[in-house]
Amino acid sequence: MAVAMPAFLLSYGVLQFIAQRSVIGAVPWVYQLLVTIAAGALVIFAPGNFIRRAVSEYPHESMVETLLANISSMSHLTLHPEGRLALLVWGAAGLIYAALVIMTVPKPKYALIAMLLGGALVAGLAGQGSALFLPALLMLFMAVFMAGVYWRCIPVMVAAAFLSAVASLVLLLVAPVVAARSLLTFYCLMLVPLTYAGVIAWRWSPFLFMMVVLAFAVPTVDKARLVYQGYAQNVETHQLNGAKLLVAGVESQAGNAPEQIVLYKLPNERFAETMAYQRPLVETWMRRYYQVPTSTEIEWRDPLEQQR
């Protein structure tokens, strides 16, 4: 969000000037932009980020390898079965925006050809599972939004929200790893252009809009059910492990640090972030949070369900 906030204001101002063909209102916009950049810098350069950077382990030796690996990770997360429903929604919204732009521009034939070629390229990259899929998809969306803003058929606010969503991915390029939760800011900001696509569809045909909503409602409800059940499976284990770590931390502060703690792995690791037994860095932060010293050994056993 520290990058997304100034990116939104920057893109909003630039797109507004493009849409109105004028720089009227530039001075207050620059002032607001500077304030937002300063606020974002406070978040980015917070001391905690440098502490985390110092204890983080980069799996790749060079920055170029890290950039390429993270781009690949983001593309694979987008193409993962867990993300395909969102991808289908983006596709439906993209078709709506593309149709809107084609109906607005002076030479619709050329716009149609360009979008068909761009769509074919993105579809081909998706079929191959290429690391270039997500960058290509975002560039295609960006081209459509830029054309829509220029020809004044897409609101500046909507396009700026999309660009800020893309900007939220920038810092992830230099992160040690890209976890699934790292894309949450991107997904949330993308709700703005997705919602406006629904508004356009409603204006064209309320019946068509309702059919699309119903088509996505069934898999969405089923997905929500699976997510709830998955996290519910892990509640008991989380509570037990948390209680044991809390007690160990209190005993350690009293000078009676236990020699060993027995914790249990999750029964459903699909619905959890990276666990301490999967990545050493997570155990480091877990020990600091609960104040459990490194002298205390942590043994991870099979899930409770397998113990019974």
Confidence of residue 99 (pLDDT cuts 50, 70, 90): very high
d(CA 177, CA 197): 32
Share of the chain above pLDDT 70, in %: 93
- Number of other residues whose CB lies within 10 A of the CB of residue 130: 17
**The amino acid at 186:** F
- Annotate 244-292 with three-state secondary structure: HHHHHHHHHHCCCCCCEEEEECCCCHHHCCCCCCCCHHHHHHHHHHHCC
List the end-to-end C-alpha distance of the chain, in Å, as a whole number.
44
d(CA 127, CA 191): 25
pLDDT for the residue 5: 81
Kindly report, residue by residue over 231-245, the tens digit of the pLDDT: 999 999 999 999 999
Residue 198 has pLDDT above 90, yes or no: yes
Helices 133-150 and 84-104 pack at an angle, to 10 degrees, of 30
Confidence of residue 279 (pLDDT cuts 50, 70, 90): confident
Kindly report, residue by residue over 46-89, the tens digit of the pLDDT: 777 666 666 666 666 677 888 888 888 888 888 877 778 888 88
Output the pTM of the full model.
0.79
* DSSP β-bridge partners for residue 262: 299
Give the β-pairing of 260-264 and 297-301.
parallel
Residue with tokens 């709506």: 96
Confidence of residue 44 (pLDDT cuts 50, 70, 90): confident
Kindly report, residue by residue over 240-265, the tens digit of the pLDDT: 999 999 999 999 999 898 999 999 99
